[in-house]
Structure 1
Amino acid sequence: MWNARLVSSVVWGSVVSIVLCQSVNAARSQDYTPEQFVSVLNGLGYAVPLDARIDDPRVQQAIRDFQIQFRLPVDGTLNNPTQDRAADIVKTLQSALNRTLKPSPQLPATQFYGRQTEAAVKLFQQQNRLPATGIATLETRQRLNDILSDAEPRQPTNPANSPVTNPPRSQLTIYSEAQIKAILTGFGYDINPQASLSDPPTVRAIRDLQRIYGLSETGAIDRATEEKFSSVMRNLRNNLRVILRSNFAIAQYYDEATRTAVRQFQSRYGLRVNGIADLAVRSRIDTEARRPRG
């Protein structure tokens, strides 16, 4: 068994799947120990310290967010589907690094986020002018995915003679339209809060977030998109609570309390104070949430 890694942490919120041409065996080879699973969560960008116990509230919340993200049974435990999905993500990440890095690090397809995986992620980050933390942050995974996608032939987005269709109609089950638009505005998108979700700027904003978080880029709010928004918002608010040391509720809405907390964070860290958590601000919040606190 390898020792827990001592790394400074960064980014993210929420996990993005890497797209590969070849599938990776999803089943885990063995059960995770609590320490191994905490290391996976940390390595994939969740706001949990490596020395946290499995019953730590931050770890419990990260597990639930992971389960929501991947539409697994949500119980905050290391149930079999959760362990299998985590193993699949780590193996996929290792395979992507093997294909992208030159020379290839020849990572074994394991379910563990250990020193070799950390070193390969750090090397990839150095080669691509990203913060070299060894943690597979959102920005890192997106860049890795872009490189792999560029290496494969692409079909035209609108081939000749293909009709242009409107995005599928939204079927909201978690949020109201107003709540969706509040999240988009809170994330820095310039949309008309009075317009419908089919308004072109709103569709573009939704599509951009779907791209960032590895979802199908429909421009409409489907169940997976709502669940991702919920996971990202809960992670954001949990991070703000950790940083500000407040009783800030972990909820899934971008409300006035969220804006106030974001303003407090921006003021504390010398950022532009506007209450908007765009991608750069969310990344900074994730980074600060992971720093050791006395």
Structure 2
Amino acid sequence: MWCDFGKSRAAVALTCLVTASVVISDTAFAIRQRNYTPEEFRAVLKGLGYNVKVTKGPLTDEETKKAITEFQKGYKLTVDGKAGPQTQGFAANIVKILQANLNAVLKPNSLLPRDQFYSSRTEELVKEYQKKHQLEETGIADLKLRQKLDAEVKQIIGQPAAKPTPTPAPTASPSPKPSPKPSPTAKPAVKPTVKPTVKPTAKPTAKPTVKPTAKPTAKPTVKPSPTATPTATPTATPTATPTATPTATP
């Protein structure tokens, strides 16, 4: 059973709706090649994970109608258990997307044709993908496998292609530039605010008041008169009488 798991039905249905919206948005797959034969449609249902045997009889047996009903519920289609145009169109688009994703991830030498048929070649590549991820090789692309495959393709698409990095050409070494002049340092913001306010307030007011008030008024009034020249007359010259020199007696 697919897209209908009891208590988890709402969550699975939401997942199915997301997958369906991707299918619907791809207008290149909007028109299927032709209607399926009963055998081809059963092969698609089985390949997508529904429990049905691939036979050529009409799609009116209970097993096939049940599988169709589950498919319709999962994608919110008109539920009538019949493989009408809407149901066949959704199935065709899902198979085409599966084939494109297998080509993108596995890159086989012979690409799968993006048609609406779950061929033996499609089954082989599904098994190859299961082997790559160490899954059971059933060849059935159930919902879980398709979601894993979708995520892997989105990762591949999201990665930009590697571009060769150009070898950098040798560039001239930059000539040394003069070192920038040091910016003028900040001037000292502190200016002397205190100026010497003390000025000599006292000026010498005292002038020498003592002046010589008295001038010498006395003038020498008396001049020394010349003294009289001594007029003393010479006295008589003494006349000495020679005395006899004493002579020694023998």
What's the TM-score once normalised by structure 2's chain length? 0.52
Q: What amino acid sits opposite 1:39 in the alignment? A: A
Structure 2 residue 73 is the aligned partner of structure 1 residue 84: no
Q: Which has the higher helix share?
A: 1
Aligned residues of 2:2 and 2:70 also touching (Cα < 8 A): no
Q: What amino acid sits opposite 1:139 in the alignment? A: K
Equivalent in the alignment of 2:105: 100
Aligned residues of 1:48 and 1:58 also touching (Cα < 8 A): yes
SS in 2 for 1:29: coil
1:23 shift after superposition: 5.7
Q: Which moved more, 1:102-111 or 1:25-34?
A: 102-111
Q: Which runs of 5+ in 2 are unaligned?
A: 4-14, 160-250
Picking from 46, 61, 65, the partner of 1:42 is 46
1:33 shift after superposition: 0.8
In structure 1, how many angstroms separate the alpha carbons of the residues matched to 2:102 and 2:2? 21
Q: How many residues align?
A: 143
In structure 2, how many angstroms separate the alpha carbons of the residues matched to 1:34 and 1:103? 29
In structure 1, how many angstroms separate the alpha carbons of the residues matched to 2:81 and 2:26? 30
Equivalent in the alignment of 2:78: 73
Aligned ranges 1:277-292 → 2 under 5 Å: none
RMSD between superposed Cα atoms in Å: 2.5
SS in 2 for 1:50: coil
Equivalent in the alignment of 1:13: 2
Q: What amino acid sits opposite 1:145 in the alignment? A: D
Greater Rg by CA: 2
Aligned residues of 1:24 and 1:92 also touching (Cα < 8 A): no
Q: Which runs of 5+ in 1 are unaligned?
A: 1-11, 155-294
In structure 1, how many angstroms separate the alpha carbons of the residues matched to 2:28 and 2:99? 10
1:257-294, Cα deviation, whole Å (9 max, x unpaired): xxxxxxxxxxxxxxxxxxxxxxxxxxxxxxxxxxxxxx
Aligned residues of 2:38 and 2:55 also touching (Cα < 8 A): no
The ranges of structure 1 where at least 4 consecutive aligned residues each deviate by more than 6 angstroms after the TM superposition are none
1:105 shift after superposition: 4.2
Structure 2 residue 130 is the aligned partner of structure 1 residue 115: no
1:24 shift after superposition: 4.1
In structure 1, how many angstroms separate the alpha carbons of the residues matched to 2:81 and 2:51? 15
Aligned residues of 2:2 and 2:74 also touching (Cα < 8 A): no
1:58 shift after superposition: 1.6
Picking from 128, 135, 142, the partner of 1:130 is 135
In structure 1, how many angstroms separate the alpha carbons of the residues matched to 2:95 and 2:55? 20
1:47 shift after superposition: 1.1
Equivalent in the alignment of 1:30: 34
1:33-75, Cα deviation, whole Å (9 max, x unpaired): 1111111000000111223842221210111111122222221
1:148 shift after superposition: 1.3
Picking from 37, 43, 60, the partner of 1:55 is 60
1:193-245, Cα deviation, whole Å (9 max, x unpaired): xxxxxxxxxxxxxxxxxxxxxxxxxxxxxxxxxxxxxxxxxxxxxxxxxxxxx
In structure 2, how many angstroms separate the alpha carbons of the residues matched to 1:122 and 1:109? 18
Aligned ranges 1:261-276 → 2 under 5 Å: none
Q: What amino acid sits opposite 1:151 in the alignment? A: I
Aligned residues of 2:2 and 2:71 also touching (Cα < 8 A): no
Percent identity reads 40
Aligned residues of 1:97 and 1:104 also touching (Cα < 8 A): no
SS in 2 for 1:120: helix
